Amino acid sequence: MISAGVDGGSRAIKVVLLDCRTRKVLASGVCDQGVDHDGLARKLLEQLLKKADLARSRIVRLVATGYTRNAIGFADTTVTEITCHAAGVRHRMPKAATIIEIGGQDSKLLRLNPDGSVRDFAMNDRCAAGTGRFLEVVAARLNAGLEGLGDLARAASSPAPISSMCVVFAETEIIGLLASGARPEDIVAGVQASIASRVAAMVGRGAGAPVVFTGGVAMIPGMAEALAAALKTPVQIAPDPQMTGALGAAILACRQACGR
């Protein structure tokens, strides 16, 4: 039996195909999000099935999660990304106690029980200044790709303070810093520290170890280090962090299909 998980994120769509018996990932993929959420997710699923030489009929259950989960019309059911990220991270890292997930448009904190269930969570979805969108704006303003932000941050000598709570005002603040002669390296380090401080405020004193960082922003060099500094505790990056939501959805689909 094969299950599938579709994570319709705000910036990208992720799909995972899972062997329900072995819990082995058979195929996974990512594509950019767009207007036709259902069509894009369906196309990505078909591409992965073809690549893995699998028939669509072999999928016994498909769960959709994420920002656009309710637009995925071919899903059997939907599950919140909170539950899916918990399942996906614990599958990869069974001892995870705290999960920090930062995506394109929001950031989340999950505290887990010993059995992996979610004890409580907090979410920041009101402002992009604590999300991947902020980093995209900074990368564009500095003419640097997202993959180059880590190198810039590591070369910083004095991280620039970023005080604005709104990404629009923060961009204006960055323009002012550049005009005053601030180094791009210090601006990037300041932005990463600003995002990390917002997450740390959401975490408070309740970051039980191990702390696992997941979501698309976890792939940006320097962010895990910024979080660790803000939280004053080690932060581990989940394997293939962009895929944990889709993986969790596929795992939950397996459980629904076969009861384990």
Q: What are the pLDDT digits (tens) for 51-95?
A: 999 999 999 999 999 999 999 999 999 999 999 999 999 999 999
Q: Are 63 and 78 in contact (CB under 8 A)?
A: yes
Residue 148 lies in domain = 96-238
Q: What is the mean pLDDT of the chain?
A: 90
- Output the pLDDT for position 256: 93
- Output the pLDDT for position 151: 82
Residue 236 bridge partners (DSSP): 212
Angstrom distance (rounded) from CA 256 to CA 78: 12
Angstrom distance (rounded) from CA 177 to CA 142: 12
Same domain, 34 and 108: no
Q: How many CA atoms lie within 13 A of 15 on its CB side?
A: 27
Task: State the pLDDT confidence band at 133, using cuts at 50, 70 and 90.
Answer: confident
Same domain, 164 and 109: yes
Name residue 164's amino acid. S
| Segment among 23-27, 202-206, 225-229, 235-239 with least mean pLDDT | 202-206
Same domain, 83 and 132: no
Six-digit token string for 135: 């980093």
Angstrom distance (rounded) from CA 177 to CA 162: 9
Count of domains forming the chain: 2
| Segment 179-185 mean pLDDT | 89
Same domain, 4 and 81: yes
Same domain, 78 and 121: no
Q: Which residues contact 181 (CB under 8 A, 6 or more apart)?
A: none
